[in-house]
Amino acid sequence: MKTIDELLAEGVTGKRVFVRADLNVPLANGEITDDGRIRAVQPTIAKLAEAGARVIVASHLGRPKGAPDPAFSLAPAAKRLGELLGTDVAFATDTVGASAKETVAALADGKVAVIENLRFNAGETAKDDAERGAFADRLAELADVYVGDGFGAVHRKHASVFDLPARLPHAAGYLIATEVGVLKKLTDEVKRPYVVVLGGAKVSDKLAVIDQLLGKADRILIGGGMAYTFLKAKGHEVGISLLQEDQLGKVTEYMERAEKSGVELVLPVDVLVSADFPDLKTKAPADFETVDADKIPADKEGLDIGPKTRELYASKIADAETVFWNGPVGVFEHPDYAGGTRAVAQALVDSDAFTVVGGGDSAAAVRTLGFDEDAFGHISTGGGASLEYLEGKTLPGLAALEG
């Protein structure tokens, strides 16, 4: 995989460099609530601009249906990128139309432009190779060189991620190089004990990675909504908690495999439960109680790990050399159910391990709860991409950059 430093050594002054970034930031009323992904790609964009490239930044945002939708415009991201770079960033109001062509043609050496949401064009995400390729052809007309740095999208076989690199000289940006280097430390170069913390709502989202980790991790700590399927598989009442009954057989199989292979699979011993899901908009005080994990009332829902589980999980993390965490262990968006996720984050901070926060909601939780990002070894920008890498899958965007 060609590096951006190799590309810079060849010279990029005056060249139109297409940077596939991941500017898929959360928005509330048009305002960015977490700019972490923009800050993550900033070093690549800044370095190219400093070298005199004419930088064209492209990304998706959200899931528009292949047509323009103002709710998913990249305009706020372009504005924030300009603030971080300390320079004006031009913005094209389409992807490959007149505005994009005019905006790119007007770029001077060392200047940056952002084109509108790639997913406003159906060709970006098309399953049909020809349709996707046709869109990639039009994108290729805008540029001379391609730099892939949108790690959060490399697991997608999309036009700008998979097809476009085949049409232009290409290299990997700093973010992708960093992310791949970190993931190798979780797969090929693991220091032990290796502890994995998995949370989130659905156990089905994590089955493939659990399957892989049962042969690699020393301990797997389970939390979040997915924990209740494990508790149910052990024969416990889980009330109205999140439950995937169709996965009980697979979960039982994994628990048996963990025991046979010597992997410590750790489940909550107590949980916070309530009959009402919390109000996440007003964050009104919640009515909850703490119960043992095998004594959840039939009419209540588990919403966070309890204080005994927080201490247990912290003790399982304390002596680790490597920790990977993906998925909050409770409804962290509400202050009354954020304690478990906060405790996991604090345990990572307090450990001497190489700690990786696996993107998505975990990264959002770390920032929302006020932790210093520098206190962690690495905060990934791609939750789905990280998981698929750990599952052993070939990621289309990485394969394209290696071609």
Closest CA to 158 of 77, 205, 208, 95: 95
Beta pairing class for 270-274 and 301-305:
antiparallel
Beta pairing class for 31-32 and 27-28:
antiparallel
Q: Could you give the C-alpha distances from 38 to 23, 300, 347, 368, 372, in angstroms and in order?
A: 6, 40, 27, 16, 17
Q: Residue 29: CB partners within 8 Å, gap ≥ 6?
A: none
Between vectors from CA 379 to CA 355 and to CA 362, what angle results, nearest 5°? Answer: 95
Catalytic residue among 16, 37, 132, 156: 37
Query: Would residue 367 show up in a list of annotated catalytic residues for this protein?
Result: no
Query: Would residue 66 show up in a list of annotated catalytic residues for this protein?
Result: no
- Rounded Cα distance between 141 and 344, Å, is 47
Beta pairing class for 89-91 and 112-114:
parallel
Query: Would residue 37 show up in a list of annotated catalytic residues for this protein?
Result: yes
Query: Would residue 300 show up in a list of annotated catalytic residues for this protein?
Result: no
3-state helix, strand, coil in the chain (%, to 5): 45, 15, 40
- Using only the alpha carbons of the chain, give its radius of gyration: 22
Catalytic residue among 202, 216, 257, 367: 202
DSSP 397: H
Catalytic residues: 37, 202, 360, 384
